Structure formats: structure tokens, C-alpha cells
């Protein structure tokens, strides 16, 4: 059995879907420090779409457009963007060490992307449709 299967079976035993508090998904909850209330069900849909579906679709499109290496390097900014958005929209705090870490990681990503763009483009016989 794969780890995903074990996890799915385990969580089904611990919290079966028929015991979920479905009525609470229609309720509202506070949204960060914005003095706004959002529906829990709508927030869950937004999390699924904005946190999983959209990033996956964008990454697939990016690989086709800029190549797998550049897409992988660019995808590394996702945790930094999430931290900054959490700070800006939800009022979460960032410690000085976290801000320093974001700056270092962003600098490393920019350096890697500059180095990658300066590398000479090598045409492989396979990509040109020639026999190896």
C-alpha cells in the first residue's frame, strides 16, 4: 500500500465523512484583521482553487512556456509570496529572521535565474528530432 492510501484509510477511520459537521460549512468566520466575515464553505472552495488547482495549472503552463528548469526555480518563490500575503492581508507577523530568510532566498533565486539565463543554449539531437 502506498503512503497516500494508508493516510486516506487512517483518516477515514479517525474522522469518517458522515461525521463531519456539514452544517458549520454554511456559517461565517472572521477573516484575519480585515473586520470581515466570510462563509466557511466559500473559504474552503477558495483554498482548494487558489491553493491547489490554480498553482498546478499555472505550473503546467509555465513548464510548456519557459521550460522545466526556469519553472522550477520560479516556483520556489511560492512560500515567500505566501508569507508576505499572510502578513499583508491577514495581519500575521514576520520575525526579523523570517524577513532575512525571505531576502536571502529571493536573492538566491534571482542569482540562480541570472546564472541559468547566461548559460549557452545547447541544442540536443533529441529535441531537434534527429537520431541520437
List, for residues 27-49, the tens digit of each pLDDT value. Answer: 888 887 778 888 988 988 998 99
pLDDT in tens, 67-126: 887 888 788 888 888 898 888 888 889 899 999 999 998 898 888 878 877 777 655 555
Neighbouring C-beta atoms of residue 72, cutoff 10 Å: 14
pTM score: 0.54
Q: How confident is the model at residue 128 (pLDDT cuts 50, 70, 90)?
A: low
Signed CA dihedral, 79, 52, 34, 20: sign only = negative
Q: Determine the pLDDT at residue 103.
A: 92
- C-alpha–C-alpha distance, residues 54 and 89, integer Å: 19
- C-alpha–C-alpha distance, residues 58 and 75, integer Å: 10
Amino acid at each position: 500500500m502506498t503512503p497516500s492510501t494508508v493516510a486516506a484509510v487512517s483518516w477515514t477511520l479517525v474522522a469518517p465523512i458522515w461525521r463531519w459537521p456539514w452544517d458549520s460549512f454554511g456559517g461565517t468566520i472572521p477573516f484575519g484583521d480585515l473586520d470581515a466575515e466570510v462563509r466557511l464553505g466559500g473559504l474552503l472552495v477558495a483554498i482548494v482553487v487558489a491553493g491547489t488547482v490554480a498553482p498546478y495549472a499555472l505550473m503546467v503552463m509555465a513548464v510548456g512556456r519557459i521550460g522545466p528548469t526556469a519553472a522550477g526555480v520560479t516556483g520556489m518563490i511560492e512560500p515567500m509570496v505566501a508569507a508576505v500575503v499572510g502578513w499583508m492581508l491577514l495581519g500575521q507577523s514576520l520575525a526579523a529572521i523570517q524577513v532575512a530568510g525571505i531576502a536571502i532566498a529571493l536573492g538566491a533565486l534571482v542569482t540562480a535565474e541570472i546564472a541559468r539565463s547566461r548559460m549557452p543554449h545547447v541544442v540536443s539531437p533529441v529535441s531537434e528530432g534527429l537520431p541520437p
